[in-house]
A and B are shown apart, each in its own frame.
Chain A
Amino acid sequence: MNSANVFDGDLNKFFTIRRPADIWQWGNAVLWPGLLGNLGPENSQQQDEGGRFQSWQPDMAGTTNLTRPGSPFYNNDLLPDGEGYLGTGGGGTPPTVAEVVDRMNQFDWTDGLRILQVRAAPTSAESCGSATIGGKCYPEMGRDGYNDDTAPFGFNWTHKEGNAPLSYPFLWHSAVEMGSAPFISSSAPSSHREFSGDGYASFVIPFFSDEYLPDQRGKPCVSGRTASGPCVRDFTPHRIMRAKALTRVPRYFCVRLSWDAEHVHQLCDPNDPNNNNRTTGIVRGATVEFWNDMRRAQYVDPATRMLEVRVPLASNPAGVRSTARLMFEFTSTGGVLPSYDTMTRVAKDSSLDDLEFLVLIGLAFCIYFGAMEIFEIISIGISRYAAAAPLLQAPSTPSITLPLLQRPALPMPEAPPRYRLFTATSRICGT
């Protein structure tokens, strides 16, 4: 879905992304609509005007302003029961939380989504081994002078005067801190490079809550730890995850956004009491604005070498989980090389139980037949066994061994009586 849908009028897809601007457009037209019900927005990008949700609030004390003068908030998260193309052309019905839950059960990404960037540290032209204009150089990954950048970065688009730094810039974290893989490999056939798992991580974590959590920004509170100041309410006690038994009812659709892996913006859809408690679409609005805020903060620039979107997914009724990695590699010449990698696995408890049971049966058979082979070795001797055993033959020519087993070139001694049964059985079963 995210690799096959087109994102612009030229019918470009994920694999034809070739410049940074395409990435942002792909996110708006394919990624987020794909994750949010696989539905396109009714009014494209109307909710992305910047500053409505203020996830980047400089003092961390901002509030979400849905009624800004001149631009009332427009719910773009609607069921496809409206008019026009795909039923998203107007007049659609906002989903209830229960309907969002059903949608999420089909395509569950409540584990969250991580956006990771690896950057090249600026170096001198001399270190780069090449002449540059201005003397600064961002080397190609793995080439002369290349080092991963670890410095904070970001552009303050709300206070452009004087080039004020971003109040809460993107921050570098090691793979160990993030609990992620130490290396990230490319799936692009023309690359196959390995990038460091360290980098600048941002997160979008949608979740369902049994309780309305207020709109908050700041460092997250953590259960069992004492916070030094005000912090964003811990969502763990209220976050409703996949479970076999219904212990809590999901009443609110919420999202937690973090651009630097240290601060978060957490908000819940209050549901509209004037519309049968249907959702108001602010989760989708905040998510899309967050993505575009990253664009406005110049998240991708000439130092970017790799950007990875990692989404653990689940299809809950089927009990199947999948992890999708969508990767963009940036060359020092400014090109973008997209690739993706998916890994699917079972998640059902019953399937895991079956797996544990069946591998034990397989092990028992292996031990049984292996033991018979050993008895045969003892009975006829290792040298004759080696002459006859398939192990030493080329795997692609298994029948080479069969004449040896049936009509051995060397006379095989009679096996001791206690081994005869095993020997005969192993000749049949060991094949």
Chain B
Amino acid sequence: MDWTVYSLYAFVFLRSKTYVEHVRNPVCGGICTTIGFLDDHVQVEDARSLKFSLALCVCVQLLKIMKISAILVPKMGLTPSVLKKALPDMIFFSFVFAVSLFAFSNMLFIQLGTGMKEFSTQFTSLITLGRALFGDFDMTEVISNSPNCASSLHLALLGRSLRPPGPTQRLASPPSPSTN
């Protein structure tokens, strides 16, 4: 995890240097010289990429608080312990869940794709089904504000909420004082 943060930070550092360089020295293209319109797409892409790297880096760095808190108070390591115990179950469950999601999205794509734009492609059908399952997040707003990055992070957050309930949690949780 530490090395993940270091590696991500290397991206942040390099991106920030590029961004500042491009913002301070914009390149004026052919039409910029004649007509006078400077297209800032390079700075925009730099900023987007920088924000993406920084967001990931900060996220992982803050997740490490779980690690520190578990050292200080071992009981606070419950969530990671549960996830660790449940890891094989989660992998198999995720696979089965993904297959069922893919199957239903295919079904709805074929059935509704010609009539509803939400199901007009395989990908959008998956997104729509995901929205229906996990809550009606305004993905349009998310994508409009960050078409490439935030949507994938958002889906990662949704994926993180996929936890098998009950039995595995009981396996991992320490016995409560009342049962002793």
Contacts and interface: CB of A to CB of B under 8 A. Distances in A.
Interface string A280-306: 000000000000000000000000000
A177 B117 contact: no
B1 A112 contact: no
Given A180-B29, A369-B2, A236 B144 contact: no
B166 to A, nearest CB: 19
Interface string B103-140: 00000000000000110110110010000000000011
B36 interface: yes
Contact of A222 (B12, B27, B34, B84): B34
Contact of B145 (A111, A189, A342, A352): A342
Nearest to B119: A190
Interface centre among A236, A366, A389, A430 (most CB of B within 10 A): A366
B: interface residue count bin: 35 or more
B63 A395 contact: yes
Given A177-B30, A390-B1, A402-B77, A189 B36 contact: no
Contact of A342 (B3, B31, B140, B144): B144
A75 interface: no
Interface residues of A, number: 71
A181 B10 CA distance: 26
B6 interface: yes
Interface of B: 1-6, 9-10, 12-13, 16-17, 19-20, 23-24, 27-41, 43-45, 47-48, 60, 63-64, 66-68, 70-71, 77, 80-81, 83-84, 87, 117-118, 120-121, 123-124, 127, 139-140, 143-148, 160
Nearest to B77: A399
10 contacts: A179-B32, A186-B147, A205-B37, A207-B36, A220-B34, A261-B31, A344-B47, A366-B5, A398-B66, A402-B67
A362 B12 contact: yes
Contact of B127 (A189, A239, A340): A189
A152 interface: no
Contact of A373 (B2, B36, B120): B2
Interface in A176-205: 176-181, 185-192, 201, 203, 205
B44 A347 contact: no
A359 B13 contact: yes
Residue from the set B13, B127, B143, B160 with the largest chain A CB neighbour count within 10 Å: B143
A418 B33 CA distance: 61
Contacts of B144: 187, 339-342
**Overall SS of chain A's interface:** mixed
B67 A189 contact: no
Given A189-B139, A220-B34, A180 B67 contact: no
B2 A391 contact: yes
Interface of A: 111-112, 114, 173, 176-181, 185-192, 201, 203, 205, 207, 220, 222, 235-236, 239, 256, 258, 261-262, 264, 310, 312, 321, 323, 337, 339-345, 347, 352, 355-356, 359, 362-363, 366, 369-370, 373, 389-391, 393-402, 406, 430-431
Contacts of A187: 143-144, 147
A323 to B, nearest CB: 5
A398 B80 contact: yes
Contact of B140 (A173, A189, A220, A239): A189
Given A178-B31, A192-B124, A340-B144, 6 more contacts: A177-B29, A185-B148, A192-B121, A370-B3, A396-B63, A431-B2
Given A339-B144, A396-B83, A398-B64, A179 B124 contact: no
A345 B127 CA distance: 28
A180 B87 CA distance: 46
Most A Cβ at <10 Å: residue of B29, B37, B81: B37
Nearest to B43: A345
